[in-house]
Chains A and B, each alone.
Chain A
């Protein structure tokens, strides 16, 4: 299936290659570079490319291209999903997925890639299994290793791969048994000029950090499971139990994992936490423009809106911005044309406002469309959909774990058209 993998940085250097079958010359990447050139933006590179003898499927993550070479028909999502899984694994192992980190840990990276695929077919992609075979690096161990000549390859062979719960390693032990769940909801919305919501969806995810000894069997129930009609689960969740009782029953992987994601579609009513009053105008004469943005709370359920930030991608003709912010501060980067207004906490008594003038390039026709505003925000202790975990029970082990649930609402792709 997957023949080879090339990792390419944003300058177009191939700094890692791995072949699972016979070696394919890296000149095959030239087709990709051609497409990359054509696309201008790295985001615009088509994920699937065709060359005379191979097919190239690539993903773009963290300024890196992961380019895989395929020779025969294969579901493209299969490859894409796998490549993302590779990037996730690097992230998990090294804390970030960047060129420097991959180059520094090239041996571990290679060992990982070797285990993840056999003959191009995924073999072990569960982080728990991989960590049993190849230990993630940390400073202490690397010091110890250099002194003692020890290795970062697990001495024990992974049992997890054999069992029917490959996601959990055996023999886990903790002194403090704890299970934390983060319910994070992101609002994707498009609000039009007049302030009406064109579309709004909620993308929710329950991230878990479970550090429990032994083989705990957890059951999580919700106050209002009815909300969740479109969900996807970590493989550990017993689907039949969910279908019949609407509870999440699972033996958790050890450590951090995504328990479930859910999607509340635009057919449901979605609360929009803030409203934006804006006017951006460009004048034909005098080559200048005016900008005035005010943000106020709308449906915040009594919670404070934090980390409020407005990002505007200005048209090319805007040279500079001369604005005053009643709260927070703003920056305008004239090379990327990015105006960022960092507001911070939203005070309902004194609404933050940003106004002033924009200086335009002379002789260039005015932009036809006003730039849209992208809003970032965060509301602690609130899941905007109203989802609530009602309880978490543990079976199979006798100790009393420490449990905690945290709710956060964020703006996802929150866009205000102007």
Chain B
């Protein structure tokens, strides 16, 4: 203990010192009483001399000490004249430190500060962009109202500067000037408008920040820049991303119609588990709502940012999806939010707050991650409480038992505040989920015997609330509590039990008087709070059951009358007057029953986060649950979307302007770096040559953008050269790149045609890599945009009716394209199709697949019109239906297995439990089963993956699909083509291998091709739909070759198709597995003959 005391003493002393410091932070003369301060004071004297000396090093030393003083919050303002002289110093560090000083004290010494202005004005004309920028930075940071006009001028000039860095600084300066002099608003808005048009990623974040600060309501300034901002977003620095995203969220809320009207009818659980089927539904059902392509653009371009390392960016995207995305798409943010929970404690706090709000409305989003919210004893208290809140929100019939088990652990926590919060949580679960109400009540009753007062008090309060909300079934519990009453010692608990007895005395007519009797005995020894409740109980019993309790009541009232505590005496007097009829107080006693036994409203057991959704997620206001200054209300969706054409950019510009952007989004990032680098250089180049004059900015901008385009193209070439190294396997990608180049060239032509783009699109699809597919989607979406642009600008006054069909066409296109990349599969369960592209393949060369000859590579076909087969019909499966398809990926579990994905859907009206795989036949068959599915809600579906080793035969795999109650025999019969894995090899190797597999190993047939299958793409499509084989690049036009391997024995399967003049063709299959060859031949023949 003695140590503790001494610690305290120290603390006290220090506090005193600190108080002294705080009271005199600026005036060092009064602080001279402290030794420390007088020393400082002396030092300041010699600082002046040092600053006035000629030696650079002395000056620097002095400035460093001064900065030290500033950092500690001590005043150094008297040195201002001496310091300001050094503002023009050549030494960079000295100069920077002087700037620090200047910005800190200029406000106080405005006249002296003006001395420095000319230096900055000179620096603003410096040829070096950094010097210009830093001069503007300091100039705008000096808060001296006199220089407002100078600042305004400097900002205007800098906004037109050739260096994007200077322009960025000017965007920052706008905010500073605005806070200094709000009257400049109009002029500043003009500058903002100009800067918003800027195409540099450096500027974007800062100017949007300025926009938010100065004129957040001028939404009209954004229209023309909306698409550009969306497209630039990925490349903006992370802090700018946060600001832009939150601004765009607001923008989208004013410009687009709500995507929720249709989506609202989906059960969110369903949407979560099976987004594929949901999407289809969406397309069919949600016809009346068509998302604006711009709305979609925003959602699509923000999605990659969920992977940002910056937690603020992730949160910003999450709130954007929450506020803007169709309901069934919101769940893609879940995983990223859960990931943030591993971050710093403060981050956890904010993220958990937001999840708490989200989880109230959308349980399904976070339910699969419920374990991530389990509390650790090392968590900080506020984190624990938030996790508890979320667990409570997520509780449902299915998981309540696990949650309650968790809660049991928490109740015992040493952190009593947390234990008490847990009890409240149990109470909420009990009210929300009727199944467990009794269990919870029993559990809570048990807690009444807890030693800890907080726990007991809390449980009784909760029990009280529970009983009030459920007026039907009190009897037993109240009886139970009466039984416990003798053992409960905590006064608060005893009091609460007595209150309950009184309140529901009619339900326990026999017990209540008995309890009163006991209380009469011990009345004098009880705590005050218990005595009060005893009096209450007596009064209530007297009213309901006066026969039995009249005497008891009178006895207790008499005891109370002479109690030491005046509260109790008071109450006794009041009660007596109220209930015992006498002449004086007739008026009130008539109503005694109504006063004492009035039905009391049940206290609400609601989440503390219930009303937080009135604030935008991720904001300070949301975190504090009150409106912070400067909070911008998130507007509600407009009923009718405002004119969409406002976002179209003028006809001359879009071609120039959008082309490089399109190119950018299409290219892998590397190209962007290079290209922008070159932009930079170019700009610098023109800077040094000094050719850029401000007046002709518009025309120079145009030409600039054109040359940018050129340079980006060039750089594409260089990058593709460098990036591709020597491996030739990336041929396909380089091909498509050149395609894109071609496209761009066609685009540049004033008469833009979408025809060539369409061509190359199909080309790309034929080539296969999915990466391309996504880019082609963005490509054609931009096409559609510009299509509409070319039509719409002139008839701006067109009625909306006319505009609509146009849009519908566009967005339909959009949706079908989006399927490829944007609607990601549900974030859990279904493993994402991993796509190994050609280039990766070369990387993998000679690594894991060394058992195969080096010429043959296994690859996964990205071709994916998945055929789905029925495994179990819901009629036979008593509500359980199952479908399966072959994802054509290498199997996770064993390389010799074929991967099968099974989609289980519960179409019954009750939940199915314990879905698993039972007996299998033939016994030798090697099946990797999926994990048992504990529970499948009605209407929900889940995708599971299995692996089956078919041993290269088409023998069906029979097994039993079991639920808790039933067993269904099902079988999976693979098509022969699914037993293959696609391989890639060169033409030479193909011919060589084919040569080895002649005679017995060859099967061939002449087939008649359907006319629709004449083109190479069509053939590829047909063959790939039948068998999982890979295309072998062919030098001959009339030959198509495909290669594959059988999954389990790795035998080569070579397919070649020679087209003859007429619609006939020779189909040859070479493989050791002759049975397979003939079966495959049959299948292919059928497929190719079909149209």
Contact = CB atoms under 8 A, between A and B. Distances in A.
Interface of A: 1, 11-19, 21-23, 25-27, 39, 41, 43-44, 46-48, 50, 55, 58-61, 70-78, 80-82, 84, 106-107, 109-111, 114, 118-119, 121-123, 125, 149, 151-155, 157-158, 161-166, 188, 190, 192, 198-199, 201, 203, 217, 219, 221, 223, 225-226, 229-235, 238-241, 243-247, 249, 251, 258, 261, 263, 265-267, 313, 315-316, 365, 367-369, 371-372, 374, 390-391, 393, 395-396, 412-413, 415, 417
A80 B344 contact: yes
A369 B668 CA distance: 56
Given A240-B669, A396-B722, A164 B676 contact: yes
Nearest to B679: A164
Given A16-B71, A230-B339, A241-B668, A75 B832 contact: no
B473 interface: no
A153 B64 CA distance: 12
B817 interface: no
Contact of A59 (B55, B310, B344): B344
Interface in B298-314: 304, 307-312, 314
B91 interface: yes
B512 to A, nearest CB: 32
Contacts of B621: 73
B380 A244 contact: no
Contacts of B409: 192, 369, 417
Contact of A247 (B307, B414, B628, B840): B840
A162 B239 contact: no
B143 A217 contact: no
B242 A78 contact: yes
Nearest to A122: B239
B308 A232 contact: yes
A50 B626 contact: yes
Contacts, number: 333
A75 B239 contact: no
The secondary-structure label for the interface of chain A is mixed
Contacts of B314: 232
A226 B890 CA distance: 11
Interface residues of B, number: 138
Contacts of B347: 77, 80-81, 84
A226 B831 contact: yes
A125 to B, nearest CB: 7
Contact of B169 (A39, A118, A391): A118
Given A46-B349, A106-B67, A266-B372, A369 B413 contact: yes
A78 B670 CA distance: 28
Nearest to B210: A121
B382 A19 contact: no
Chain A CB count within 10 A is highest, among B165, B346, B834, for B346
Nearest to A393: B843
A387 B775 CA distance: 29
B67 A107 contact: yes
Given A239-B307, A315-B414, A217 B346 contact: no
Given A106-B71, A164-B673, 12 more contacts: A13-B14, A15-B72, A26-B25, A73-B632, A74-B620, A106-B68, A119-B172, A164-B680, A198-B374, A245-B839, A368-B450, A417-B409
Nearest to A415: B376
Nearest to A251: B673
Q: Which 9 A-B pairs have the closest CB atoms?
A: A244-B771, A72-B630, A238-B669, A199-B371, A149-B57, A151-B93, A369-B412, A153-B93, A266-B371
Nearest to A50: B624
Contact of B238 (A199, A235, A367): A235
A118 B374 CA distance: 40
A158 B128 CA distance: 12
Given A114-B100, A151-B91, A230-B339, A221 B840 contact: yes
Determine which residue in A76, A111, A417 has the highest number of CB atoms from chain B within 10 A of its CB, and name it: A76
Contact of B771 (A60, A155, A198, A240): A240
Contacts of A15: 72
Given A44-B381, A234-B309, A18 B60 contact: no
A218 to B, nearest CB: 11
A365 B451 contact: yes
Interface in B343-387: 344-347, 349-351, 368-369, 371-372, 374, 376-378, 380-382
A76 B677 contact: no
A84 B312 CA distance: 12
Given A232-B314, A239-B234, A114 B382 contact: no
B452 interface: yes
Interface stretch (B38-46, B201-209, B902-910): B201-209
- Which of A61, A230, A261: most chain B Cβ within 10 A? A230
B3 to A, nearest CB: 9
Interface string B215-245: 0000000000000000000110111001000
Q: For B100, B369, B380, B619, which residue has the most chain A Cβ atoms within 10 angstroms? A: B380
Contacts of A161: 165
A152 B56 CA distance: 14
Contacts of A44: 380-382
Nearest to B310: A81
B488 interface: no
A254 to B, nearest CB: 15
A247 B311 CA distance: 23
B104 A19 contact: yes
B336 interface: yes
A380 B680 CA distance: 46
A154 B93 CA distance: 8
A244 B371 contact: no
Nearest to A115: B96
B307 A244 contact: no
A125 B238 CA distance: 10
B847 A243 contact: no
Contact of A258 (B93, B309, B344, B722): B309
B1041 interface: no
B628 A190 contact: no
B491 interface: no
Contacts of B724: 395
A415 B377 contact: yes
Nearest to B3: A335
Nearest to B412: A369
Contacts of B624: 48, 50, 55
25 contacts: A43-B345, A59-B344, A76-B350, A76-B620, A78-B312, A80-B346, A82-B239, A118-B137, A122-B239, A162-B165, A162-B680, A163-B673, A164-B235, A217-B723, A233-B308, A240-B669, A244-B835, A258-B309, A261-B339, A263-B335, A368-B450, A390-B847, A393-B725, A395-B722, A415-B378
Nearest to B129: A162
B629 A72 contact: yes
A245 B832 CA distance: 12
B451 A238 contact: no
Contact of B335 (A246, A261, A265, A369): A265
A149 B626 contact: no
Contacts of B97: 107, 111
Nearest to B128: A157
Interface in B654-707: 668-670, 672-673, 676-677, 680
Contacts of A13: 14, 18
Contact of A246 (B22, B176, B834): B834
Contacts of B619: 73, 75-76
Contacts of A110: 67, 70-71, 100
A251 B70 CA distance: 40
Contacts of A395: 722-725
Given A80-B350, A111-B96, A245-B839, A75 B372 contact: no
A398 to B, nearest CB: 11
B92 interface: yes
Given A106-B67, A244-B837, A245-B839, A81 B165 contact: no
A119 B175 contact: yes
A119 B831 CA distance: 46
